[in-house]
Each structure stands twice: as structure tokens, then as C-alpha cells.
Amino acid sequence: MKTVHIDGRAIGAGHKPYIIAELSANHNGDINRAFEIMEAAKRAGADAIKLQTYSADTITIDCDSEDFQIHGGLWDGKNLHELYTWAQMPWEWHKPLFEKAKELDITLFSSPFDFTAVDLLEQLGAPAYKIASFEAVDIPLIKYVAKTGKPMIISTGMANQEEIAEAVAAAREAGCQELILLQCVSGYPAPAEEYNLATIPDLAKRFDVVAGLSDHTIDNTTAIASVALGAALIEKHVTLDRTGGGPDDSFSLEPAELKHLCDSTQTAWQALGSASYQRTASERGNAKFRRSLYVVADIKAGEPLTAENVKSIRPGFGLAPKHYDTVLGRTAREDIARGTPLSWSLLAE
């Protein structure tokens, strides 16, 4: 079974789901808000917090031509440079954010969007890297990240099978030994019915990787369901207040919802267990309440057992009901009182 390790935490089959709280642009320009989100994520039980490392000028250019305009959706009316100026995580925040994560004892890493972002994150000792869906076709970036030798997570939103295969090959050829692929729908928010969660085990098998989910739906149902299909890692955007007005606030989880995600996915994972037909610990005390064969009317020695004096009833201390037809017509070895569990020793040969 494939296993990936990030900061010493094993991710894969046999381990509870790894939960990433995506801070993204929900800092809304205030580093203290970013700190508060990190604290909330730690309290909720998340395993890691993820940043996005870019500036408006490293991810696009300031240009008003039609190609750069956004029409419709959450960011209607802006051009790309305006959106990313609004959403970017200032690079000078990264060091204090990493220091804060160390103080909280929670893993912190990021999605880099160009080579300089990777260089910055390497200086800060990032333990892993995430390739965002929109960058899954950026083969040079994938190779540059892979050369760090750190675990990589690649989100597959919008990518077809061929593009995913190219990304996986690039990562592996450049030195990536630990790789996770995330099923993702790059809509904000994304409708649950588009998620095709059955792709998760197919990703794992087809590409021989650990597979998980990057979830942009507005509740936890899709994420919890994904655990049953083998999602070993789940990523959700997190904010303090969904009505906060930031770029990603409206489709992000609030702290109580993140705690619900952490708790419920662990419960779902525990419920999976393994194929088993053994009686469980919680069932053992109740076995006595199953049905069995009981004498329901007094029977004298030598009298036959009939449908009137033997029945299948609760509790379960008598012979199993499957012996009912066999015992009918047999005779009693001794007097048998009403309420006696039937046993072979009570019957004449």
C-alpha cells in the first residue's frame, strides 16, 4: 500500500484522513486574521494549514485586454491582476506564518506558483508542496518542485487523464518519491453532483499513488463520503466568517464546520474497518437476545415435542432455530418445565 509522509505524519490506507485547512486568500489583507485562522484550524483538529505563494506580478501581468478580464462568478468585473493583488499573501508574511505554525505545532506548507516562490519556501523549510489545479499543466513548475525531493500533492481539477499522466511523469522523472493526487472540481463553489468521487480509487490504482480530495463544495457531505472511497487526504478552504467579503470566504468552512469535518471524516474512516464476519465487542452482550428453541408448555417424560410446546423465541440460550424441524416429534427424556431452553440432552435418543 502506498504511503506518503509529511512532517512525520503517515498518509494513506490504514491511517485516518489527513485534513488540510486551506487559508488561501481568507486573510483578507490582515496577518492577524491569518494567525487567527491558523489557531482555529489547530483547535478544530486539522493536520495542516496551506498557503498560496504568489504575487500578482508572478502569476499574471497587469493588462486590460479581454484575455485578462473576468466575467461572471465570484470575481466578476475584475481583471486577473486586480484579483491577485487583492488575494495575494504578502511574501514578508511567510516567515512569521511559519514561526506561528511551529508555535502551534501544526504543519504548514504552500502552493508555489513560480520558481521564486519555491525558492522562498525552501528557505523556510516547507515540508511539502501542493500544485494547484490551474498549475497542473505547468510541467516546468512541477519539475522544479519535484527536484526539492519533498512530498508533492497535485490537484487534478480541469485536467484530463493525459494531462494528469504528464504531470505525474514529470514529477517522478524529476525526483518526486512521494506523490498524492487529489480529485478536484475547480468551481467556486462546486456542485457535489459534479465531483465523481468514484475517480478517487481510480486515480490511486491508475497512477499508483495515494489519492484524496480537494473539496470546493459548501458543506462536508462530499468530503465525508470520499473517505469511503479511499480518500486519504482532504483539503477544504477555511475562514473565520463566510460573510467576511474576502475572495474565497463565501465557499470556505467556518471553524465549527472544520471541526465537524475533522471529527466526521475520522468517524467515517473508523467505520470502514476491514471485511469481517466476526461478532463485534458491542454485539457480544446482545447475543443472548437472539431467538432460540424454548419449551413453552410443560412436557412430561416420554411425550413428543410439538409445535404447541416448542417455539422459536427470545432469548438465545436454547438450540438454534435451524433445528426446529429436527426436534419436532422427538420425545422428552425427562419432565421439561415451561420456560426451559431446549438442549439435545433433554431429548430421548
Q: How confident is the model at residue 15 (pLDDT cuts 50, 70, 90)?
A: very high
pLDDT at position 343: 98
Residue pLDDT, tens place only, 206-226: 999 999 999 999 999 999 999
341, three cell numbers: 431452553
Higher confidence at residue 247 or residue 346?
A: 346
Identify the bridge partners of residue 130 per DSSP, sorted by sequence position: 153
pLDDT at position 83: 87
Check whether 1 has a pLDDT greater than 80.
no
295, three cell numbers: 419449551
Q: Where are the beta strands (DSSP E) in the chain?
A: 3-6, 9-12, 18-22, 48-53, 107-112, 129-131, 152-155, 179-184, 210-215, 233-237, 292-295, 310-313
Q: Which domains does the chain have, with CATH numbers?
A: 15-54+89-272 (3.20.20.70), 281-346 (3.90.1210.10)
Q: How confident is the model at residue 155 (pLDDT cuts 50, 70, 90)?
A: very high
Contact between residue 140 and residue 113 where contact means Cβ atoms under 8 Å apart: no
Q: How confident is the model at residue 89 (pLDDT cuts 50, 70, 90)?
A: very high
pTM of the model: 0.91
pLDDT at position 245: 84
Q: How large is the average pLDDT for residues 11-31?
A: 95
pLDDT at position 73: 82
